[in-house]
Amino acid sequence: MKKREFLTVFLLLLPVLIYFIFLFVYPFIYGLYLSLTNDEGKFTLGNFIKFLSDPWDANTIWITLKIAIPATLLNVLIAMPLAYYMRHGIKGEKLISFLLILPITLGSVFVAEGMLTYMGPNGWLNKILLALKIIDKPYRFTHSYLGVQLALIIQGLPFVFLMLLGYISGIDPTLEKAASILGANRWYIFRRIMFPLWMPGIAMATSLNFVMNFTVFPSAVLLGQPSGPTRVISISAYQWAFEKFDFHMASAIAIIMGLVELIFIFIVMLIRQRFFRIVATSGGKG
């Protein structure tokens, strides 16, 4: 590459580099520094040890995983058949897409407020269930573990659906036609052709949705019990930072959150690689 071409490319990339450095690299490095130091600026692992040795705080990791993993798996399992069915376009696709995308535009706080109104003890959902005599007293949809789960599904499902639909729509449809001409049935085509090609998109959607769910905050506060069963790790970080004003401890918790997310993504990537090995070694057997 000539010097002039390199300079042109560099100038084009400069705004992105500045954005990346100041909004990601610098905050991460500074947060890592805070997590590994005390108020006097001395190096210490005390912040991590203090968090992990305190059952009240350490338990927030398990609580958040119990919320994030089921919500992520449900989002993927619900979105997959819908995206697969709509991969070539269907009648009313725009309306369906609009209804699915709507929760993203509303935001987590607005969705939570809507759920409090319509799924609360005096909401229309409980009134319908009572009128149909399905329940004999109002069911606790909100201010519970279930409320947080429902919020994450409502908000995360459109995101996962769009990612899966975009990925599978990019797979060449002639592959399906060729397999069908050669005598393969629908299940075989899905299992041996479409699903393996779709797997990278599924892994990516699963990983990104888990990260979104693991960092849940507004839904856990508004729809859960932030001082009890739904005290997620982000609430712990918030309390240490803005109630106790210990930014060193809060940064350590943020680093732990990032490590847990990386471990989950690493496991997803391992499953993806293992799946590809199984497909590759199984040959053409049905």
pLDDT of the residue at 45: 93
pLDDT tens per residue across span 208-250: 999 999 999 999 999 998 888 899 999 999 999 999 999 999 9
Using CA atoms, how far residue 65 sits from 35, 60, 89, 226, in Å, is: 22, 8, 35, 15
Q: What is the pTM of this model?
A: 0.88
Q: For 79-127, give the DSSP string.
A: HHHHHHHTTT--TTHHHHHHHHHHHHHH-HHHHHHHHHHHSSTTSHHHH
Mean pLDDT (the chain) is 89
Give the chain's residues under pLDDT 50: 283-286
Question: Which amino acid is it at 222?
Answer: L
Beta bridge partners of 37: 43
pLDDT tens-digit map of 264-285: 999 999 988 887 776 656 544 4
